[in-house]
Amino acid sequence: MLFQAAPALPSEVDLKKTYDAVVIGSGAAGGMAAHVLTAQGLEVLLLEAGKKLDIEAELKSMEWPYDHPRRGAMPYEAHALTSNEYTIRKPPYAAGMPWRNVYSYVQGWSGTDYSKNIVVDEKDHPYTGTNYAWVRARLLGGKTNIWGRLALRLSDLDFKAKSHDGYGEDWPISYADIEPYYAKVDLYLGISGHPEKLPHLPDSRFQRATTLNPAEVRLRQSLRKSGRVLTPYRAGVTTDGLKHNKYRSKCFGRGACSRRVGGCDIHAAFDSPTGLIYPAMDTGKLTLRTRSIAREVLVDAASGKARGVAFVDEGTGAVLEAKAKAVVVAASTLESARLLLLSKSRQHPNGIGNSSGHVGHNFCEHVMGPGAYGFVKDLVGKPRTLDDGRPGSFYIPRFRNLKEKRGDFIRGYGYEGGSGCGLYPDSAAAPGFGKAYKKAVREGAGAGIGLGAFGEVLARYENGVSLDPEVKDKWGIPSLRFHIKFGDNEKKMAADMAVVAKEMLEEAGVEVLGTDTSILTEGWSIHELGTARMGNDKKTSVLNQYQQAHDVKNLFVVDGSSHVSAACQNPTWTIMALAWRSCEYLAEEMRKGNL
């Protein structure tokens, strides 16, 4: 065995007991909260809305396409929303659709059948308002079961962005505050990458990087002339192994990474259950209850403090209560905002933690879509490298608005790229037919290279979510209504992304086959952030620098909703570093009797 199987879940959870802390949500943030709080000696109850899947059987990472009855496609009565549908239809997207099940778009080319049970069924989970691709994963571990694995740090260029360009708000922390926690996350969970000494994309404590193939080396060398960097994908994947974690194997480069939506059945890629929750259960301090849908943070009538959580038991529909001295919300950015807004009481009439009126506002994320792709002519017909065993190909860090300032937009973007040969040849898109086509596919399979950008979406007060006055989910809980639109800065930045992608490839001698200029629907990056931001001013922010509610001392919100701005880096590593820092603070404050 490469790794040890998951521990059994308790059959009965004691709800009479008052736990030290109840954590809502078991993804990157909730898993980290469970890990840190139990390590600090607290008795923790972890509530997860979804169920625990037999994830290895679900992912079937090594299954050949031809061994699947539909070559990986979902059952015919199920449907995954398309990019077009997200744009031309209005939420709730599943309304009026004939399919038995409707899932969000996040499905790989051969992977739809492997992820359908991981994402929610839109029929049960409607939302309304502006167009938005909201990908939710209700199961133990949440979206960490299928995340893209790119693990990046933020820098003071991001934490102090307002000081740099005058827009928005600075974070109430600086890089020096969070650096020790980034390092803890690196070492505890494992990250592969190559140091580049960039001030705006600090290096992690890397395990071995994945290799760069010849096309990527060529692009790296070409970019160097303009002072830009192409670096091996910084992946939240352990390439050297983790001696302290028996639930995870190191990566063996098997080749399942790029053909499925994500997920790793040997857990070399970080996921919250094997990386954080099972080890926390082994301390004897963690109680896990799945299929428990939080619907309200309960408030003590005398003190106004949080006293626990009301949740729906998914199996029976009964509303139950969990009691705790502290409540840690980590339900994912928008679900956390929803829960705060749902938690109305005499003391907190606008929702708990919301005296500022900022819950549900200041949403931010990443804009994506624009990019370019092509092929390296002199690699055509050359022996192919085996590239899809890598957890990712490459990353080109931000280079816009570092020192010089552009007139057309502020902030920046980075590119994620892919190249080389996977199981399914990208070159199958070659024109024509017959022997010439077959040869073109065969010989072109390792020569392709492409890149697409992820850019910072500015946090704006008016962008966000509120409770829908009418629409409810399957459990009778009010749904979210979206008020989210990209603005002028995003559109100008996106135009630059496409132009520069093409230029960089051409400069490196890549024959460009196409450029993508269109912006994908809001939400497409699955990097939703903000809506309960941190800050020093309780009139304009929801949480302090320890993700503690300004209004309620024993309420913490430790997921992406706390982020003040989106930066352009993928947020998972920052979410976990912040949660680690805040939960250490929580434990210390509890010991001091301050909560």
Partner 1 sequence: MSDEKPSALDLTRREVLKMAGGAAVVAPLAAALGPLAAPVAAAQAAAGPAFFTAAEFRLLDELTELIIPTDEHSPGARAAEVAAYIDRRLAGYDPAYPELQETREAWKAGLGSIDQLSREMHGAAFMEASEEKRVAVLERVAKAEQQATTPAEKFFGQLKSWTARGYYTSKVGIHQEMEYKGNSLQPGDYAGIEAGSV
Binding-site ranges for partner 1 (CB under 8 A):
62, 64-66, 69-73, 76-77, 98-99, 110, 192, 194, 208-212, 217, 220, 232, 239, 251-256, 386, 388-390, 422-425, 428, 431-435, 437-439, 441-442, 445
Residue 163 CA to residue 183 CA, distance in Å, equals: 26
Minimum CB distance to partner 1 smaller for 237 or for 505:
237
Nearer Cβ to partner 1 (393/466): 393
Q: How far is the CB of 191 from partner 1 (least distance, A)?
A: 12
8 Å CB contact between 220 and 212: yes
Token readout for 409 is 């937009």
Alpha helices in 309-431 (DSSP H): 333-342
Least distance (Å) between residue 28 CB and partner 1: 23
Cβ nearer to partner 1, comparing 417 with 422: 422
Residue 472 pairs in a beta bridge with 478
Nearer to partner 1, 167 or 437 (CB): 437
Q: Tell me how crowded residue 41 is: count the other CB atoms within 10 A of its CB.
A: 12
Kindly state the smallest distance separating residue 189's Cβ from partner 1, in Å. 17
User: What burial class does residue 375 get, using C-beta atoms within 10 Å of its C-beta: 0-12 exposed, 13-18 middle, 19+ buried?
Assistant: buried
Q: How far apart are CA 336 and CA 137, in angstroms?
A: 14
- Min CB(266)–partner 1 separation in Å: 9
Shortest distance, CB of residue 209 to partner 1, whole angstroms? 5
> Among residues 439 and 491, whose Cβ is nearest to partner 1?
439
| Closer residue to partner 1 in complex, CB, 66/284 | 66
Closest contact distance (angstroms) between CB of 485 and partner 1 is: 29
In total, the chain counts a number of residues equal to 595
Separation between Cα atoms, residue 86 and residue 524, nearest integer Å: 10
Q: Which is nearer to partner 1, 109 or 167 (CB)?
A: 109
Q: Which two tokens stand for residue 207?
A: 């395990």
98-117 in b/e form (b: 16+ CB < 10 A) is: ebebbbbbbbbbbbbbbbbb
Q: Which is nearer to partner 1, 347 or 517 (CB)?
A: 517
Least Å distance between CB 269 and partner 1?
13
CB of 568 to partner 1, least distance (A): 23
Residue 157 identity (one-letter amino acid): L
559, 575 contact by CB (below 8 A): yes
Cα gap 333→3, rounded to integer Å: 31
Please enumerate, as own/partner, the contacts of 159-165 that have beta carbons within 8 Å and a separation of 24 or more: 161/411, 161/565, 161/567, 165/401, 165/405, 165/410, 165/411
